[in-house]
Structure 1
Amino acid sequence: MIDGLIAGRLMGDASRRVDKAGRTYVVARVLARNKMDEEFIVNVIAFDEMPSASLLALADGEALTLSGALTPKVWTDKQGNHRPSLDLIAVQVMTAYHVGSKQVAMDGGSPE
C-alpha cells in the first residue's frame, strides 16, 4: 500500500452505496494528470463520513485533492492497449470550498 496525494477533476458525480452489512460508502472516479500530461483514472472509495460528504457535495468536473492509500493497477482498453489506473481509499478530500474555510479559520475570523 502506498500513501498518496492525488489532484484532479471529478469524472461524473460520486455515488453513495450500501454493502451487504448495511454500511454506507461512497465511490467516485477522478481524472488526474502527471507532469507529462498523461491521464490517469483514479477509482476512489471513501468509508469515513467527512471524505464521503465532501465527494457527494461536488459535481462533475470540479477540482479536488485526495489523500489516502493508493494501489496501482493496469487495465486493457478496447484496442488492447495496457493503461495504468489507481485505486484510492480516501481518508481526506480537499476542494476549493475547503481552502476558503481553512483560510478564514487560520485568520481567526469569520467569512465576510
Structure 2
Amino acid sequence: MIDALIAGRLYGIAEQRTGHAGSAYVTCKVKAMTDDGDGIICNVIAFNDTVRETLLQLEDGASLSLSGALTPKVWTDKQGNARPALDLVAHSIQDLAFAERK
C-alpha cells in the first residue's frame, strides 16, 4: 500500500452501493494524466461519509484530488498489452466546488 495524492477528472459518475453488512460506500473512476500525456484510470472506493457525499455530488469530468491508500496493478487488454491500473481507498477529497466554497 502507498499513501498517495491523486489529481484528475471524474470519469463517469460515482455510484453508491451497500456492502454485505449494510455499510454504504461509493465507487468511481478518476482519469489522471501522466507525464507523457496519456491518461491512467484510478478505480476509487470511499467509505468516509464526507468523501462519499462529495463524490455523489460531482458530475462527469469534474476536477478533483483524492488522497488515500493506493495499490498499483497491471491488467491485460484484448490485444495482449500490459496496462497499468490503480486502486485507491479514498480518505479525503478536494474538488473545485469545495475550493470555491472556502
Q: Distance in 1 between matches of 2:31 and 2:100?
A: 23
Match of 2:22 in 1: 22
- Percent of aligned positions that are identical: 52
Q: 1:55-74 CA deviation, whole Å, 9 max, x = no partner?
A: 10101111111111100000
Cα deviation, residue 38, structure 1 = 2.1
In structure 2, the residue matched to 1:96 is 96
The CA distance in 2 between the partners of 1:84 and 1:66, in whole Å, is 19
Structure 1 residue 78: Cα displacement: 1.0
Aligned to 1:86: 86
Per the TM alignment, residue 9 of structure 1 is displaced from its structure 2 partner at its CA by 0.8
Cα displacement string for residues 28-75 of structure 1 (whole angstroms, at most 9, x for unaligned residues): 001111122121110000001000011101011111111111000001
1:51 partner SS? helix
Root-mean-square deviation (Å): 0.8
Instruction: Give me the whole-angstrom Cα distance separating, in 1, the residues matched to 2:23 and 2:4.
Output: 25
Q: Give 1:101 shift.
A: 2.1
* Off by >2 Å, runs of 4+ in structure 1: none
Q: Which consecutive unaligned segments of at least 5 residues does structure 2 have?
A: none
Identify the structure with the greater helix proportion. Answer: 1
| AA in 2 matched with 1:85 | A
Scaled by the length of structure 1, what TM-score is found? 0.88
Q: Name the structure 1 match of 2:7.
A: 7
Gap regions ≥5 residues in structure 1: 103-112
Q: Aligned pair 1:77/2:77, yes or no?
A: yes
> Is the partner of 1:22 in helix, strand or coil?
coil
TM-score, normalization: structure 2?
Answer: 0.96
Alignment of 1:36-55 (within 5 A): 36-55=36-55
Structure with greater strand share of residues: 2
Corresponding residue for 1:108? none
Instruction: Tell me the amino acid that sits aligned with residue 81 of structure 2.
Output: N
Q: Distance in 2 between matches of 1:78 and 1:61?
A: 26
**Which has the greater radius of gyration?**
1
- SS of aligned partner of 1:72: strand
CA–CA separation in structure 1 for the residues paired with 2:92 and 2:101: 15
